[in-house]
Chain A
């Protein structure tokens, strides 16, 4: 790595202050503070007060005292262990898949890239339902096939176990990590790797020390994002962990809020804030790791990413990708497709064949209203978040403004907080917002919450991309008389477009699936799809939920292919 540690600093043009620039920076800080610090401040108040905001009570440290119990310590260790195992395995798998797709001559890579990312877009509750049917020890289809084929009496897989929880979480984290890293693999000038090989380094050493080394900003960001998300993961632990006695921090918080007579907000928020402080340790570790180094892989010179010729092994890598797709998508989604045509989910008898679920969804006005609201919020929210994230990332990565650390901390906050607690923070913040602005009870409350929730992802995605762009590109543009905004738009955003598109899609689908904040902020007429799905699910309408999930998957296909077409056209023009 030492050979790459060139001390490069942002050009002076980016740090010279003007009143306009300072005002713009102040506006950016104020906006982020409203989005992230304000709800967080409400939660801190909630953790330090015997009653929630707006109710008479007294300040107290009882929540923190209750938090510091041995039982919570054990649950925390369990949570961290679970997330480490999950993130480590997913990271290895995602790196391998990204390398196959971006840097080898494996056939049909374009198609594979889309297929590998599909599991991310399927609502977790549906894959949980599908895996419950596939891998339950008593009567799971895979276990029945195993015992039938081998004559064994013991089932092969028990999804209600530690391994089951890890596996279910990996189905989301692997494509998520893949999406974050594949772009960086692609936009890498092969000259650096070629130099390493010419200097006598082996292929493995080159991959480890140059390829992975140059991707350090992206891989560490992705690792941290995924690890933190693992700590805050809820559905997998609730569905597969609780029956096996596996408790994690989020199920404990869920218990404190939903399973007691009077929700214990002081302890729940104290627990969530405690986790946040611990997670910040990771971010600081990343700052120290990356501080002062350069990771430029995109310079003013033209290049084509180097592709390894695998010979006949390219079919083995192709087979591996297809296997991943079959296990993570075909098996669970196959269940959803088949299940959507039968009266009862999991009862595949010809007498029960029906189109009723499709008809019911088609005739359900609420579904269409929610779909319209969700698409509007998804498009607006993802666009606004990516623009905001791009601006924040620019300041973080490409300037030396002192305020950038403040921006970074503010941008990280929502990612550190479990969704169900942050949702309460949004409710308190928006409903108790002083002044004439009425946010609570409107569609805009959801939009603001979604932008807040998506900002960390947008900033990480764009930071990784910007960190790879050499300053000479920007300087050239400025030297030729382009204004800052033109340079930002036509040089930086244009070159970081693949990351922008990936970030947009990730956030769009985060919005599509978001429930914790939505359930506390939606109002009549402003329903969103996740809330309607939750209602149908609770009502036992698994068939209708499957139909909606299939519509969402169709949307994914549409978006992914449109995005790839756009990227290709755009990059071709560039």
Chain B
């Protein structure tokens, strides 16, 4: 028997489901079955991935292949290269890619350029939890949170920076290794988020610390571990799972982690649209999400934490500080170039 509260909840849910946009509505079983059959006939899906070398996507792809028997093919390049490739393909009418797997900023810019088509209703379309949301064209797949990497032999536990502002302490002058804060990527995310939350002064002061900037990303971890520099920022927190055995530690600053969200979207003119649609849905399934969660990335679907190994869960349990705003990106990049000459 239903009590009053349960009835009210059902009514509220029914009202909510009516109010949802079409994209968030689940398709009927028969309709979805047709999508799966059509996808199987298409036989493969081609993903254009801007997160070059990420181990999570091939893992998700293998799970997708195993479940549907549809070949998962991956083409990787930098975000800007993929963007120009698909633009040219669409202009020439020779589209080879089906699904975009890229950072939310690039995806937003491509959306404005009319690169994608609506994917229609997905059975898992309503699963992402706030602040994440599938909007009918983009599916939020996972989140990369950023923190600080420290060398444990050079930095004693009591001296570790606990806050982003701690890295401004004069003792770290000349001792910070950093991703290039003037370039798209983790560096630009850190610059924009810290500017928005702590003001321009934060980066003015960070510039006075004379950080050694480059774009070698993962090549920088061994440099910190070898003791060349005691600190590296912004550190991709899930990467700490790969560095076991080295004298390094990941710090999650108290203010929270700047982050970048990775979105999936279906290219306009995709040669395998049904397989693409099926894959977008799969990204939001338990299996798809756990491919990312088990490697320490923040999942966009809630309630799966208990299924993630403890080590990865510890990494992913991070309060999020903020992310980039595509509309402000150019302005921020320009400002970063002025500050970090």
**Residues of chain A whose beta carbon lies under 8 Å from any beta carbon of chain B:** 52-55, 129, 132, 136, 138-139, 160, 238-239, 242-243, 245, 255, 257-263, 343-347, 351-352, 424, 427-428, 431-432, 438, 440-441, 519-520, 522-525, 531, 534-542
Q: Indicate whether A520 sits within 8 Å of B94 (C-beta atoms), given known contacts A259-B182, A535-B52, A540-B218.
A: no
Q: Indicate whether A343 sits within 8 Å of B96 (C-beta atoms), given known contacts A138-B229, A540-B53.
A: no
B195 within 8 A of A: no
B127 within 8 A of A: no
Whether the pair A139, B84 counts as a contact (CB closer than 8 A) is no
B170 within 8 A of A: no
- Looking at the assembled complex, report how far the CB atom of A124 sits from the nearest CB atom of chain B, in whole angstroms: 13
- Looking at the assembled complex, report how far the CB atom of B327 sits from the nearest CB atom of chain A, in whole angstroms: 9
Which residues of the partner chain B approach A352 to less than 8 Å between Cβ atoms? Answer: 245
Whether the pair A440, B213 counts as a contact (CB closer than 8 A) is no
Closest 7 CB pairs of A and B: A54-B91, A539-B53, A540-B218, A538-B53, A524-B73, A538-B52, A431-B92
Whether the pair A257, B80 counts as a contact (CB closer than 8 A) is yes
- Looking at the assembled complex, report how far the CB atom of A263 sits from the nearest CB atom of chain B, in whole angstroms: 6
Whether the pair B88, A431 counts as a contact (CB closer than 8 A) is yes
Interface size band for B: 35 or more
Between-chain CB contacts (< 8 Å), 13 pairs: A54-B88, A54-B91, A136-B223, A239-B216, A242-B213, A262-B330, A344-B243, A344-B246, A424-B84, A427-B88, A432-B91, A524-B74, A539-B54
- Looking at the assembled complex, report how far the CB atom of B165 sits from the nearest CB atom of chain A, in whole angstroms: 24
17 new A-B pairs (CB below 8 Å) besides A139-B227, A540-B242?
Answer: A53-B91, A54-B92, A138-B229, A258-B78, A258-B80, A347-B222, A347-B225, A432-B88, A520-B81, A522-B75, A523-B75, A535-B52, A535-B53, A538-B52, A538-B218, A539-B54, A540-B239
Question: Taking CB as reference atom, which chain A residue is nearest B220?
Answer: A540
- Looking at the assembled complex, report how far the CB atom of B104 sits from the nearest CB atom of chain A, in whole angstroms: 13
Within 8 A of A (CB), among B6-20: none
Whether the pair B212, A243 counts as a contact (CB closer than 8 A) is yes
B209 within 8 A of A: no
B117 within 8 A of A: no
Which residues of the partner chain B approach A255 to less than 8 Å between Cβ atoms? Answer: 183
Whether the pair B222, A242 counts as a contact (CB closer than 8 A) is no
Within 8 A of A (CB), among B187-214: 212-214
- Looking at the assembled complex, report how far the CB atom of A368 sits from the nearest CB atom of chain B, in whole angstroms: 16
The answer, among A242, A440, A523, A535, for a CB contact under 8 Å with B92, is A440
Which residues of the partner chain A approach B326 to less than 8 Å between Cβ atoms? Answer: 261
Which residues of the partner chain B approach A520 to less than 8 Å between Cβ atoms? Answer: 77, 81, 84-85
Which residues of the partner chain A approach B73 to less than 8 Å between Cβ atoms? Answer: 524-525
The answer, among A139, A239, A427, A540, for a CB contact under 8 Å with B226, is A139
Question: Taking CB as reference atom, which chain A residue is nearest B174?
Answer: A138
Which residues of the partner chain B approach A519 to less than 8 Å between Cβ atoms? Answer: 77-78, 81
B66 within 8 A of A: no
Whether the pair B228, A345 counts as a contact (CB closer than 8 A) is no
B55 within 8 A of A: yes
Q: Indicate whether A245 sits within 8 Å of B85 (C-beta atoms), given known contacts A53-B91, A346-B226.
A: no
Within 8 A of A (CB), among B245-270: 245-246
Whether the pair A261, B226 counts as a contact (CB closer than 8 A) is no
Whether the pair A52, B84 counts as a contact (CB closer than 8 A) is yes
Whether the pair B53, A259 counts as a contact (CB closer than 8 A) is no
- Separation of A524 and B73 alpha carbons in the complex (Å): 7
Question: Taking CB as reference atom, which chain B residue is nearest A534?
Answer: B52
- Looking at the assembled complex, report how far the CB atom of B240 sits from the nearest CB atom of chain A, in whole angstroms: 12
B133 within 8 A of A: no
- Separation of A539 and B219 alpha carbons in the complex (Å): 9
- Separation of A55 and B87 alpha carbons in the complex (Å): 9
Q: Which of A243, A258, A259, A347 has the most CB of B within 10 A?
A: A259
Whether the pair B84, A524 counts as a contact (CB closer than 8 A) is no
Whether the pair A524, B109 counts as a contact (CB closer than 8 A) is no
Q: Which of B88, B91, B229, B341 has the most CB of A within 10 A?
A: B88
B60 within 8 A of A: no
Which residues of the partner chain A approach B219 to less than 8 Å between Cβ atoms? Answer: 129, 132, 537, 540, 542
- Looking at the assembled complex, report how far the CB atom of A433 sits from the nearest CB atom of chain B, in whole angstroms: 8
Whether the pair B183, A535 counts as a contact (CB closer than 8 A) is no
Which residues of the partner chain A approach B184 to less than 8 Å between Cβ atoms? Answer: 258-260
Whether the pair B222, A261 counts as a contact (CB closer than 8 A) is no
B59 within 8 A of A: no
- Looking at the assembled complex, report how far the CB atom of A304 sits from the nearest CB atom of chain B, in whole angstroms: 51
